[in-house]
Amino acid sequence: MKHIITSVFALLVIMNAKAQKKTEEKTQVVLSDEEIKPLLLKNACIGCHKKDKKLVGPAFKEIAKRNYSNERILELIYKPEPKNWPEYKTPMAPLSFVTKEDGLKLAAWINSLK
């Protein structure tokens, strides 16, 4: 009985953490196209990506269609997975210099393009 109670409690804690994370993503302020431009320039995003058009990498709108969470986009900024985009010949380089704060702002903006 003690193990069941402990398991139920652990499950509730995990479910609460997931719900809180989703709420935080939904309440994150999304920058406008004008507000995001300095971050796109600063972090060299626009060298390979455009909002609506394929360039060296996929359009931001195409990325948004993948329904990645903001945290997942941040992970992919730091450690790209070329297998996710096999139709592109040039794999994305890891962008370890992007701050977590900037990365999450970029991710929230990308996800707003759905």
Q: What was the pLDDT predicted at 70?
A: 98
Structure tokens at 101: 């704060």
In this structure, the dihedral spanned by the alpha carbons of residues 44, 48, 49 and 54, taken in order and rounded to 10 degrees, is 170
| Cα-based angle 75, 17, 67 (whole degrees, multiple of 5) | 40
User: Same domain for 5 and 52?
Assistant: no
Q: Domain limits at 98?
A: 31-112
Please tell me the predicted confidence (pLDDT) of residue 28.
83
Question: Tell me, what CATH number does 80's domain have?
Answer: 1.10.760.10
Closest among 76, 57, 58, 70 to 111, alpha carbons compared? 70
Quick one: 14 and 54 in the same domain? Answer: no
CA distance 109 to 11: 32
Answer yes or no: do 13 and 55 share one domain.
no
- 10-residue block means of pLDDT along the chain (114 residues)? 63 60 64 98 97 97 98 98 95 97 98 96
Residue 79 DSSP class: S
Beta strands in 9-112 (DSSP E): none
Number of domains in the chain: 2
Sign for the pseudo-dihedral over CA of 32, 35, 41, 44:
negative
pLDDT at 2: 67
Q: Are residues 20 and 75 both part of a single domain?
A: no
pTM of the entire predicted model? 0.76
